């Protein structure tokens, strides 16, 4: 007998748009610059980051810059903005700098901050709740490390997330959330939805002062039935927050 879908698609609360803008530095060309040329490029980059940070301070944006571990990228410029136009503007503001002449783009991810609609009360604007508004319009948490990965829910034979009933999905999500809550205070998570926006269905961004917590959390989640049966994961990228005080040190400018 053909399976009948038992429930409509669950609705979501959607907040600010997100851009994970990863960049690689052309080290050969960068090392060929004179000290004065490096300082000029670095000064312009620092002014750009200051502008992004000022936007964040007046709650118009979320922004963070990170040095990425491994070969997949060197830098991550992480943006949360109210509109797609503002994300594009942020990207082009970087591209117009002298420093961008030494950058290439190995990977980026476009999505929108997403929360369950269960957090909203009927007939009430969710943005009237300060806690919900903070989650939908996030600043980048002041943690030392970031971990980003995209993911899908499987659609394979009996392990098809989208043919489960609403009750079954809720049970799996509750069990998944129970594990996550044990890491409260150690890891902060921002979930962004990307169906129709990028190649995966969701982006997961984790923040912590101790990067080992990323491994512990993801490892423990692997034993959760919902993750084990239905989770498909893309590349993991981890970075350390960059501040102006150590930017010149990292780039030897």
Residue 21 near residue 105, CB atoms below 8 Å? yes
Does residue 219 have an active-site annotation?
no
What's the pLDDT score for residue 248? 83
> Using one digit for the tens of pLDDT, what is the confidence trace for 127-146?
888 989 999 999 999 999 99
What's the pLDDT score for residue 6? 55
Reported pTM? 0.92
Residue 1 pLDDT greater than 70, yes or no: no
Residue 168 pLDDT greater than 80, yes or no: yes
Query: Which among 92, 107, 109, 149 is annotated as catalytic?
Result: 149
What's the pLDDT score for residue 74? 97
Residue 5 pLDDT greater than 60, yes or no: no
Residue 155 pLDDT greater than 70, yes or no: yes
> Using one digit for the tens of pLDDT, what is the confidence trace for 25-43?
999 999 999 999 999 999 9
With vertex at residue 86, the alpha carbon angle to CA 102 and CA 204, rounded to the nearest 5 degrees, is: 80
CATH entry, 12-251, from 3.40.50.620, 3.30.70.3340, 3.30.70.1030, 3.20.190.10: 3.30.70.1030
pLDDT band of 157, cuts 50, 70, 90: confident
> Using one digit for the tens of pLDDT, what is the confidence trace for 82-115?
999 999 999 999 999 999 999 999 999 999 999 9
Residue 175 pLDDT greater than 50, yes or no: yes
Nearest to 53 by CA among 249, 247, 232, 244: 244
DSSP 117-152: GGGSPTTS-GGGSHHHHHHHSPPPP--SEEEEEEEE
Residue 121 pLDDT greater than 80, yes or no: no
What's the pLDDT score for residue 149? 98
Residue 118 pLDDT greater than 90, yes or no: no
């Amino acid at each position: 007998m053909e399976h009948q879908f038992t429930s409509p698609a669950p609705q979501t609360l959607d907040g600010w748009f997100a851009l994970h803008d990863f960049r690689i530095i052309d080290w050969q060309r960068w090392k060929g610059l004179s000290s004065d040329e490096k300082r000029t490029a670095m000064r312009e980059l620092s002014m750009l980051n200051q502008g992004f940070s000022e936007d964040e301070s007046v709650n118009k944006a979320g922004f963070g810059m990170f040095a990425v571990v491994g070969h997949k990228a060197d830098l991550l410029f992480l943006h949360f903005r109210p509109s797609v136009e503002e994300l594009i503007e942020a990207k082009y503001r970087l591209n117009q700098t002298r420093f961008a002449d030494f950058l290439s783009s190995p990977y980026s991810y476009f999505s929108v901050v997403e929360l369950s609609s269960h957090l909203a009360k009927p007939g009430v604007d969710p943005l009237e709740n300060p806690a919900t508004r903070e989650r939908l319009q996030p600043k980048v948490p002041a943690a030392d490390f970031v971990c980003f990965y995209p993911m899908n829910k499987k659609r394979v034979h009996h392990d098809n997330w989208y043919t489960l009933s609403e009750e079954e999905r809720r049970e799996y999500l509750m069990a998944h959330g129970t594990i996550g809550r044990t890491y409260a205070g150690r890891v902060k998570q921002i979930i962004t939805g990307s169906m129709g926006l990028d190649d995966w269905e969701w982006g997961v961004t984790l923040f912590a002062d101790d990067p080992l917590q990323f491994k512990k959390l993801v490892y423990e989640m692997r034993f959760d039935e919902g993750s084990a049966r239905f989770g498909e994961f893309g590349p993991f990228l981890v970075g350390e927050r960059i501040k102006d005080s150590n930017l010149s040190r990292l780039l030897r400018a």
